Amino acid sequence: MAPLPASHPRTPESAQPSADQREDLVVRIPSQDERVAESKEEKVEGNTSSGESAAPTKEFQEGGYGWVVVASVATINAHSWGVNAAYAIFLAYYLRNDAFKGATPLAYAFVGGLSLSIALLFSPIATISIRKFGTRITLWIGVVFETAAFVGASFTSEIWHLLLSQGIAFGIGMGFLFTGSVGVAPQWFVKKRSFANALATSGSGFGGLIYSLATNAMIKNIGLEWAFRILAIICFVVNGISATLIKDRNKHIGSVHVAFHKDLFKRIEVILLISWAFFSLIAYVIVIFSLTDYGQTVGFSASHASLLASMFSLSQGIGRPLIGLTSDYFGRLNIVCVGTFIAGFCALFLWIFAGKYFAGAIVYSLFGAFAGMIWATISPVGAEVVGIQLLPSLLSVTWIILVLPGTFAEVIGLSLRKHGVDGYLDVQLFTGFMFIAAGICSWLLRAWKLHELETMRLTKEQRELEIRDDDAVPRDPNARTTTTKGYLMYIMKGKGLFEWAHV
């Protein structure tokens, strides 16, 4: 492990500022040379002023209990985001059975959109809750709200009841569960950070697979009301156990939990990252909530249409760990860029031309891992952009921005839908172009990373270590940092756009 330079002494854990003091310390975003070895703990502190050596601290071992945390986060994702993915089954049932008299298709779309947008909107409150009460209490708040949402939904008789329960209450629960767990797994890993994070997020894919099939079967055999009640019982028990098992390392690494860190918007790399997430989420929400209804629109049976959503979720469950693993080996930004463009081309060609046939629709569904890349990669990519300490603040800001696409994406999708077999053509085109726009943003973000590495003036060996092991290379305090003007001049010269590098 490379020793820390003298200009960057590490503060002992016992001397680290309190949570309230820490919030006041982050008015200024750390420069690149200050983000040194932030995810590691040095074995020896170095010599004191009297010449005596400080007592050695235990070296951080990657993994360990972290794998229990990964499994717990994956389980929570399966019983929050996975259950939310099953709304495609609920939506198809609502649209074709007039479940609530007087309700319009757009009202049903808002239910699904609200559950996602409220989850993101409550992320700042959940972030404050983590700082004030800790991760475990924050997760339990989510467990209670999600359970109450399903119990309330089982007694609904009007559309506004559904909006309050399956829309708002479930969204609050999912928001606390998501915000409380999303940043925990990366804290336990460095070299395998992308793989661990992707493994944790794969739970939502497997959860979507299970609950898409189970929800369709429950509604068919025991009715809508008892389907909600069974989901409430399962989610309370499983999420409660997982929330109890999760442990964070916030105090060890000095995580900064600021609900809205406005200074982040002064960095062009943050703008590019959020733009990629914005366009990706629009397309992702439309696909995941529309596949079941699309299948029935082109003539598939209800069971075959639900199978499309299940295969889409299965693809994410299997694909996300593979995406994380390949990201660690071939570069996180490389995989993000390539995968996002693949999602766009699949929507524009495979979904449009082959989707009318059941086999073709299944093949498109199996490319779902690329459509949901945002969930598998945003945490490790965000750690590369701002560092692991500021990652919670970056994610909090990102979730707030993503409230808009989360709320209106499916509303836009249903408004573009027309009658007939080709009724989804406009939806497919819109979805494909949103993925392409996201791919362009990730491409420019990749160029920024190359510019950052160039301005750091690292040797070839240091550059490879910096890429493979986040912030492992000590930076010269006098080294230049990237600026917006410098970055724009860099890409205007064509640099970084077509250069292959492991980033």
Least confident of 94-98, 148-152, 191-195, 229-233: 191-195
Residue 52 has pLDDT above 50, yes or no: no
Q: Quick check: 178 and 374 in contact, CB under 8 A?
A: no
Average pLDDT over the chain reads: 79
Tell me the average pLDDT across 361-377.
Answer: 87
Q: Which DSSP state fits 346?
A: I
220-246: pLDDT as tens digits: 899 989 999 999 999 999 999 999 999
State the greatest distance between any 2 C-alpha atoms of the chain, in Å, as a whole number: 82
Phi-psi region of 471 (alpha: psi -120 to 50; beta: other; left: phi over 0): left
Burial of 332 (0-12, 13-18, 19+ CB in 10 A): buried
Residue 346 has pLDDT above 90, yes or no: yes
Please tell me whether residue 133 adopts helix, strand or coil conformation.
helix
115-119, 120-124, 169-173: which is most confident: 169-173
Q: What is the rounded distance in angstroms from the CA atom of residue 340 to the CA atom of residue 381? A: 14
Q: What is the rounded distance in angstroms from the CA atom of residue 412 to the CA atom of residue 431? A: 10
Residue 4 has pLDDT above 80, yes or no: no
Matching residue, tokens 């700042």: 124
Share of the chain above pLDDT 90, in %: 27
87-118: pLDDT as tens digits: 888 888 888 887 788 788 888 888 888 888 89
Of residues 92 and 361, the one with the higher pLDDT is: 361
How far apart, in Å, are the Cα atoms of 293 and each of 115, 289, 414?
19, 8, 10
Residue 429 in tokens: 């085109």
382-409: pLDDT as tens digits: 888 887 777 777 888 888 899 889 888 8
Residue 219 has pLDDT above 80, yes or no: yes
**pLDDT (0 to 100) of residue 9:** 40
455-482: pLDDT as tens digits: 776 554 555 555 544 444 344 333 335 6
Superfamily of domain 66-448: MFS general substrate transporter like domains (1.20.1250.20)
